[in-house]
Amino acid sequence: MRKQFVFGVVAAIAVAILPTVSAQTASADTNWATCGDITACGGMDALVAEAQKEGALNLTTILRNWADYGDALDSFKAAFGINIADDNPNGSSAYEINLIKTAPAATQPDVVDIGASHIVDTADSTGVSIFAPYKVQTWNDIPATWKDSTGLWFGNYSGQIVIGYNAKDKVAPKSFKDLLNPAFKHSVGIAGDPTGAQESLMTVLAASVANGGSLDNVTPGVNYFHKLKLAGNLSSAPATAASVVSGQTKAWTDWSFNAPGVAAQAAKAGTTLKYVFPSDAAVTGTPYIFGINKNAPHPASARLWVEFMMSEKKGLLAKDLDGQDPYNLQQGTEKGSTLFNSLMGGQNIFRLGGAAPILGSVMASHKLLVPAPNVILGTSGATAVPTIAQQLAAVAVLKTAWPKI
C-alpha cells in the first residue's frame, strides 16, 4: 500500500435517527456529503444511524497486515454491521487517486489512505480537490503541518523502512549493502514502482542515504537498484506477504508497521521471519493521509470510518464484541455514541500494528497508548524524514530514471 501542497500546506513544507437516545440529532435535510464535522452531522448517534442505513463502505488498497488494518476492518464491521469492500488490497497511492477520478460513481472509494507525496495529485482537471472537507473529533490534536486547514485531508500514522528476511536462510542481511550478497539471487523485493507507491519511494530514498546520497539526491539510490538488478538479485515481482511466506522473496524492504502482521501470517504457515533496522540507512516516512471522496457513495459511513480511525480511545476489538451491537443500534436500545466510545480507536490499532500514530504524543501524555509490538531487531537510531519537497523532487527524477534501471 500502499501513495507545493495545492491546498494550503505546501507553502510551509442516519437518515435513521434515534431521538429517544440522543440529545443531538441530524435534521431531516442533513447533507451527509457536505457535513464538515460531527456537530454538523447531527452528533455521533445520528452519524452511526445513517451509516448503518447506508450499510456499506468502499475502501481500496487496504492490506489486513498493513498497520493492523485487519483489526480495524473487523472491529468496524462487527460494531456497526457495515459491510466493507476493498477492491484492490495491493494497489498504490496513485491507484487510489485514479480510482476516485475515473471509476463509476457507485464503485469509487469513500475514503483513501495515501502517501503524503501524492497530495499534489488530489485535484481534478479543474484544479478543485477531489476530497470533501471534514474535521474529526480529534482534529485539534493533529499537528498543523499534517492537516489541511479546511479539513480536506489529514495525517494518520507513519513508519520506518526496515529489511525483512527468512530466519532459515544462512545469510542475515543487516544493511542495504548486504542485499547484494549472491545468496539473494532473484529474490530481493520491494513493494512496487516508487513513482506510485509511497513505501517504495521511501525505500529508494533510504537506499540513497545508504550509498552516499541524501534525501536531496536520490540518484545514488537509483544506481544502487541498478546494481542490484545487474547482480541478478532484484526480483521482477513486487514483494508481497504471499511471496514472502512462500519463500519466493527471501529479503525485502518494508514499513516497520507491516512487520508484526506479516510475521504472524508467516508463523501460521510454519515460516519464521525476522526484521532489522538497516544499519546504513535510518529513514522514517512522512505520515500517510486520509481524504474523504467528495463524491463518496456512502458519505456517512466515510465520516464514521475516519472518526473511528482517528479515535484515541482504548477499548474493545472485534473479538471482544458480543455480536448484538448492530441489532441493538437499529432497535434503538444502544446509543451509537456509547458503542463508538467503547471501541479501540484506530490510532491505538495502528499502534498495535507497529505504526506510529500521528496522535501518539498527545495520547501518551493522557496515558491512552497501548503497548507497541517489538519484533524488529536492532535500534532505529536517529531517523531522517524527507520533506514533501524532497519527495516530489525524487519522484520527478524517478519518473525518468526508474524505468531504466
Q: Indicate if the pLDDT at residue 227 is higher than 50.
A: yes
Average pLDDT of the residues in 239-251:
91
Most confident of 9-18, 44-53, 325-334: 44-53
**Per-residue pLDDT at 21 exceeds 60:** no
pLDDT, the chain, mean: 92
Which pLDDT tens digit goes with each residue over 336-377?
999 999 999 999 999 999 999 999 999 999 999 999 998 998
Strands 161-166 and 273-276: antiparallel
Q: What is the pLDDT of residue 11?
A: 36
**For position 27, what pLDDT does the model report?**
61
Q: Can you list the domains of the chain with their CATH numbers?
A: 10-158+287-365 (3.40.190.10), 161-283+374-404 (3.40.190.10)
Q: What is the pLDDT of residue 29?
A: 79
**Cβ atoms of residues 401 and 194 within 8 Å:** no
Say what the pTM is.
0.89
What pLDDT does 339 receive?
97
Residue with cell 487496504: 62
Residue 172 CA to residue 313 CA, distance in Å, equals 39
Which residues are bridge partners to 161 per DSSP? Answer: 255
Instruction: Please determine, for residue 16, whether its predicted confidence score (pLDDT) is greater than 70.
Output: no
8 Å CB contact between 66 and 72? no
